Amino acid sequence: MTNCCIFGPPGAGKGTQCERIVEEFGMVHLSTGNILRAAVEADNDLGRKAKEYMDRGELVPSDLINAIVLEKLKQPDVQSKGWLLDGYPRTAGQAQLLKDNGLLPDVFLCLDVPREVLEERVTGRRLDPETGNVYHIKYRPAPREIQDRLVQRPDDTAEKLHVRLNAYEDNLASVRPFFVQSECVVDGSKNMSEVTDMVLDAIAQHHRAHAQAEV
């Protein structure tokens, strides 16, 4: 069993790669962005508190999300299948919380994608509200019959990407040192299947090393 975090700027391809990682290794995918968007959609207490930050492209206060993450990581299916955290940790405080709870990942995948590639990724992203599937107008077009129902995230504009990227870059240097032992940097600017090959290989290497250590 391998526990992973996937880290990278907005639009780097984290959610896209998580689909393939889960297919291959079967851990439970926990995306804090998806959890928060579902709360906004449900218009519950969390969603009402988080929405204003998300709409501005800012991080939500950690106390809104920390307890939820810890609670989800304790669930029996997550304990038995392993976890794949997407979009968490994003700050040194969140990384510290994982560390304090003995929840450091086996593999900390960093998708490295330059700023100039991210704008096209983010502004071309489309979501299918019925299935939650993520498409891209150019790189992953949706089937024609569902194209009319696709939606754009309110924070997927060039202007808000700028705010989100600044938040990412402000935290980068303080988050990465927590994961030096397990960090694996992947060139996320390649096409989807090339990135998938590198990501799956990084996790498989951990599996092999772990299996050898047990012999």
Question: From the CB of 8, what's the least distance to ligand ADP, in Å?
Answer: 6
Beta bridge partners of 111: 186
- 144 is annotated as an active-site residue: no
Question: From the CB of 121, what's the least distance to ligand ADP, in Å?
Answer: 4
DSSP 113-133: --HHHHHHHHHTEEE-TTT--
Considering the complex, state which of residue 88 and residue 179 has its C-beta at the smaller distance from ligand AMP: 88
Which entry of ligand AMP, ligand ADP, none binds 16, CB below 5 to 8 A by partner kind?
Answer: ligand ADP
Question: From the CB of 199, what's the least distance to ligand ADP, in Å?
Answer: 10
- 48 is annotated as an active-site residue: no
Which entry of ligand AMP, ligand ADP, none binds 32, CB below 5 to 8 A by partner kind?
Answer: ligand AMP
- 164 is annotated as an active-site residue: yes
Please tell me what DSSP assigns to residue 72. Answer: H
Q: At a CB cut-off of 8 Å and minimum separation 6, what does 37 contact?
A: 54, 153
**CB-CB contact of 107 with 206 (8 Å):** yes
Catalytic-labelled residue, pool 90, 121, 126, 160 = 90
Question: Parallel, antiparallel, or unpaired: how do β-strands 134-136 and 28-31 relate?
Answer: unpaired
Looking at the annotation, which residues are catalytic?
14, 90, 125, 153, 164
